[in-house]
Structure 1
Amino acid sequence: MGKGKRPATYEDIEALPPGWVGEIIDDELWALPRPPTWNLWVMSVLGARLGRTFGVGQGGPGGWWILIEPELHFGRQVLVPDLAGWRQERAPALLEREVPFFDLAPDWVCEVLSPSTEALDREHKLRLYHQQGVSHAWLVDPRARTLEVYRRGTRGWRFARYGGEDVVRAEPFDVEPLELGRLWAPGSMPAPGP
């Protein structure tokens, strides 16, 4: 933050034009447009798959609260991951409060990368998720058709990378296979390599 500049507040988020998502990270306002269609597809497919299997336990173990774009408040930080999940045993009353945000760190977050958000997701948000005790983070890149699975370690993240049409068992949902090919929008082409 520049010298003499005031820290961003929640009022700055509320003043954003319709269709924009605001987050406050290190006292700075980050305003981003709504996600592109490929990202919405990934969010929808993952939300439905994980929500059905791990949220309501239909055809799977259940035991999770899986939410799309929850607003997280960590002190002065305000983050909006694309998806997040809390283990119900850790947060049995999570949905009983009638407030539009959560101040309990999730057990899992997922960010769907786009050119406008990748640096923010990788550099700032992953650091904050680790600091807040989030145990697992996923970064999904629909253009490169990759899934990066991060597991919290004492000194940082440990991660594995999968891609294309792989069928994976990705922590913390590794009791059920995940077909990555279903995440990529029909007819979408992978991004060209370097």
Structure 2
Amino acid sequence: MPVVLSDRIYTVEDYMKMDDGRRYELIGGELFVVPSPRPKHQKVSGRIFYQFENFLRNNNLGEVFHAPIDIVLGKHIVQPDVIFIAKERLDIIGELNIQSAPDLVVEVLSPSTAAHDKKKKSQLYLKHGVKEYWLVDPDAKIVDVFKAGEQEWRWVGTFDQDDILNSTLLPGLEIKLIEIFQG
């Protein structure tokens, strides 16, 4: 992901004033352009969001959001593809953004952002209290699931289109990955 406007250290306040039509993420004082996702990326992230939304409509466990939405993590701002916030933490939802780490973050990998999502953003999510992290590879048709440990992510497993994905954060949620990756 190319760095832009790295001529100085940018702050959350600087980010909030950005109004040039581009999407950015702010990490370590640098602004990163968030490129438009590919159609396959959009299909997969939309299907994941839809599964969460349908499940949460019938179960009062919290709220789900999808990109673009700003997540403020201290002096950083990121835009994950899909997030879940448990109902007991809904107070982190502000008028302009989410003001703390969501409980679950889903990143759908794109060639231009995969390394960024796997390293920089993953480290931020762990540091700021995300409990569960899903890395979705739409090309390989797999999902890697991680749970927060004390100092690092604990790998739960790799799931493919033959599997049903669930989360301890959302008891009863079952996502048939064949439905996420089809077509």
- Please, what TM-score do these two structures have when normalized by structure 2? 0.86
Partners of 1:38 and 1:185 within 8 A in 2:
no
**Corresponding residue number in structure 2 for 1:29:** 31
- Number of paired residues? 175
Q: Which has the larger radius of gyration?
A: 1
Alpha-carbon distance between aligned partners in 2 of 1:15 and 1:89, rounded to the nearest angstrom: 33
Q: What's the CA shift for 1:75?
A: 2.2
Alpha-carbon distance between aligned partners in 1 of 2:99 and 2:181, rounded to the nearest angstrom: 32
Unaligned runs of 5+ in 2: none
Q: What's the CA shift for 1:185?
A: 4.6
1:150-165 alignment runs, 5 A limit:
150-159=146-155, 160-165=157-162
Q: What's the CA shift for 1:146?
A: 0.6
Q: What's the CA shift for 1:116?
A: 0.5
* 1:74 counterpart = 2:73: yes
Give the AA of the match of 2:84: G
Q: Which has the higher helix share?
A: 2
1:1-194 alignment runs, 5 A limit:
5-9=7-11, 11=14, 14-16=18-20, 18=21, 20-54=22-56, 56-57=57-58, 61-69=59-67, 70-91=69-90, 93-95=91-93, 97=94, 99-159=95-155, 160-173=157-170, 175-186=172-183
Give the AA of the match of 1:63: L
Alpha-carbon distance between aligned partners in 2 of 1:87 and 1:145, rounded to the nearest angstrom: 27
Could you give the per-residue CA deviations for residues 148-192 of structure 1, whole angstroms, max 9, x where no partner exists? 111000021111111133223344335232110111251xxxxxx
**What's the RMSD between the two structures over aligned residues?**
2.1
Q: What's the CA shift for 1:135?
A: 0.4
Alpha-carbon distance change, 122 to 74 in structure 1, aligned in 2, over 3 angstroms: same
Alpha-carbon distance between aligned partners in 2 of 1:141 and 1:100, rounded to the nearest angstrom: 29
Alpha-carbon distance between aligned partners in 2 of 1:12 and 1:103, rounded to the nearest angstrom: 14
Judge which range, 166-175 or 128-137, deviates more.
Answer: 166-175
Give the AA of the match of 1:62: N
Partners of 1:106 and 1:134 within 8 A in 2:
yes
Q: What's the CA shift for 1:76?
A: 1.6
